[in-house]
Structure 1
Amino acid sequence: MQKFAGKIFARATAVRSIATRFVADERGATSIEYGMIAGLISIAIAATLLAIGGTLRDDFYGLALEGLQSIFSGSGSTD
């Protein structure tokens, strides 16, 4: 029985050692921080595009419509 308890104690000590090293390890922290920054920038870009997307679409469609109307009405320049 004492041999069995010794094995359990050894495993508990090993697990504790592994957990302590895992918590103290900061090698991947910078990568995670850069990933979070990239994610926040992506969210900001998506929110901006959603906010001004309709206005941009209307402006580009308006310009395209004006260009097509000038081409088909014959008033377009032939430089």
Structure 2
Amino acid sequence: GTPMADPRLWKKNMKNYLYWLYCQFELITCVCLMEPWEKLLFYSFNIALLVVIIYTAHLFIPAHIIAKQLVQEP
């Protein structure tokens, strides 16, 4: 059958693709050259920044949408 029809092949392909993306990220950001403690700091900072951005978006985007709807009402 087709490769995508077999769930095992789909999982393997997805795992390989995600690993490839991770390797690309490490090469682009030069994380592969860092020591383990530097990697920990780098990833901790990036995850913390991502959490803050998501939290801020969660708080402010709905308020902006509601405010815009109130302004547009006739």
The answer to whether the superposition gives a TM-score over 0.5 is no
Q: Higher relative contact order by CA 8 Å / sep ≥ 6: 1 or 2?
A: 2
TM-score where L is the length of structure 1 = 0.38
TM-score where L is the length of structure 2 = 0.40
